[in-house]
Amino acid sequence: MKHAKPGKLSPKMKKTALIALITLAVLAAAALTLHFVNDRQVEFIGLPAERVTVECGSDYAPPEVTAELRGNIFDREGTPLEVELEGEADTAKVGEYELTWSVSYFLGSQSRSCVVEVVDTTPPVITLTPEEREYVLPGTDYDDPGYSAVDTVDGDLTAAVVRVIEDKIATYTVTDSSGNVATATREIPFDDPVPPEITLKGEKSITFTVGEATFEEPGYTATDNLDGDITDKVEVKGSVDNNNPGYYTIRYTVKDSYGNETTVRRSITIRDKNGKVPGDEDSPEVDGTGKVIYLTFDDGPSAYTEKLLDVLKKYNVKATFFVVKTGRVDLIAREAAEGHTVAIHSLTHDYGKIYTSEEAYFADIDAMNEIIKEQTGSYSTLLRFPGGSSNTVSARYSKGIMTRLAKAVEERGYKYFDWNVSSGDAGGTTSTEQVYKNVVNGCAGRKYSVVLQHDIKGFSVNAVEKIIVWGLEHGYTFLPLTQDSPGAHHKLNN
């Protein structure tokens, strides 16, 4: 048997060693290749956050994501990769949706994910139909004008609306399926503008002769549309002295729980045994002598009224003052004390206020009558409409109001007066002489003359003495207006 020399490899051993060496080289190369391949990274560009929240119903589109493969030796510049998107977010439905962006490459793949949460944080919308009524009577079921509720997710939620009424506020509330709450409110015009009604038993105007009869209250009732029978709330002011001839007024006032007030009046005339009332002895309505002048003055008292009163006192002539609230209301007391008739014209003389409604008119004259009561001790039942009953300016504020008021004042116990002789001092002239001519020419030939002047016009007051002198020289009697005097009513134009 032959043995190899020491230090030398046999051919077989050399072959085996070479194969081993080659194998090791191949394995090393493969390992090195795998190292560099596995060392490459994918860079995703434009990825959203891991969790995204979007509002239900909104337009949401996933971002455009790109990817590049990068490594230490290979793909140093970045190799673009094709990105695939899996999943979809349904923004019409509340929930969570997963979106995944993936790439694949030689010997590898990578992916990134995002959770899209679709939420509903938008409350429903409540729409109220406007309330067009001026008032709704309290204590009645509220006839709601209407409402609707719509939600972006749930759709029509009108049927789910809950309405609660507290005092004058109606609150509408609705909740959607996500718990979002919507609220709307409206103020209900709960009000009762309807005044109560007072019905007088017996006659509104009573006349009798002293000693032949006496006045005994015939009675009254009061009812309200909401309060019902409120007769026990009626306040009665005024008294009648059955033994003294004169004019008396009983005033009945009642107020409902909403502050609406109604006043009616009863007029009582007591004549003496000769059929006359003191102060009316020379009245043509009593003795038929005729030729009477009623001097009347509107819009005072004023700075000129004292001078006018001095002239009237000088000739012992009585006149009528249709007064308003001025800075000299103290002169109303003197007018009454000196035997003149104090009558109502207006508190404000503001057409835009007093002619908007019957209630507004009576509120105005009632307030003026309170001033007259304070100054004279009694209320007046005589009045003159601002602008006269024939005025047309009132039509701007309420059609037909003068026709209604002419009837209403008489139903409440008043008597209204226009005029049949105008002095022209309300715009026709500023001349004292012309005022005098207008008055005397207007009175000439008349059985009775109701003269219109204004004691706020100095030039008109200056004509009064000359008018009186003319009247006395021509056989006229000057008297103050009373309930029995002619009204000289104009034609109603509204």
Handedness of CA 266, 272, 275, 279 (dihedral sign): negative
75-82 long-range contacts, CB within 8 A, separation 24+ = 75/40, 78/43, 79/105, 81/42, 81/105
Write down how long the chain is: 494
Is residue 366 helix, strand or coil? helix
The structure tokens listed for 92 are 């019409």
**Cα 486 to Cα 176: distance, rounded to the nearest angstrom:** 75
Q: State how beta strands 51-55 and 382-383 pair.
A: unpaired
340 is catalytic: no
Contact 346, 386 (CB under 8 A): yes
**Cα 325 to Cα 371: distance, rounded to the nearest angstrom:** 8
Q: Which of 151, 298, 299, 455 is catalytic?
A: 298
490 is catalytic: no
Contact 153, 56 (CB under 8 A): yes
Contact 208, 267 (CB under 8 A): no
The structure tokens listed for 334 are 């003197």
**Cα 334 to Cα 404: distance, rounded to the nearest angstrom:** 34
Contact 440, 466 (CB under 8 A): no
Q: What phi and psi values does residue 183 have, to the nearest 5 degrees?
A: -135, 140
Contact 413, 267 (CB under 8 A): yes
Active-site residues: which are they?
298, 454
